[in-house]
Amino acid sequence: PDRLNVAINDVWVCRNGSVGDDRDLVDMRPREVRITADLAEGGESAVIRSNDLTADYVHENSAYSS
């Protein structure tokens, strides 16, 4: 945990397991929000894709039946 680095849309909000840049610098307006977690262990990487699960999205799509 003391080597963990986390960035949200390229703003490093956690550096070396401690507070990083001011989270107010993170622009959450883009459609895509990129979260990077660097565990400082090895060179492996993974990509996880998710989607909008807000109440509006669920309501809009609740009319579909399978």
pLDDT surpasses 80 at 40: yes
pLDDT at 61: 81
25-37 residue pLDDT tens: 999 999 889 999 9
pLDDT surpasses 80 at 52: no
How is 23-39 classified by DSSP, letter by letter?
Answer: GGG----SSS--EEEE-
3-24 residue pLDDT tens: 999 999 999 999 999 999 999 9
Q: What is the rounded CA–CA span in Å between residue 6 and residue 10?
A: 9
Q: What is the rounded CA–CA span in Å between residue 57 and residue 61?
A: 6
Q: What is the rounded CA–CA span in Å between residue 52 and residue 28?
A: 13
pLDDT at 54: 85
pLDDT surpasses 70 at 66: no
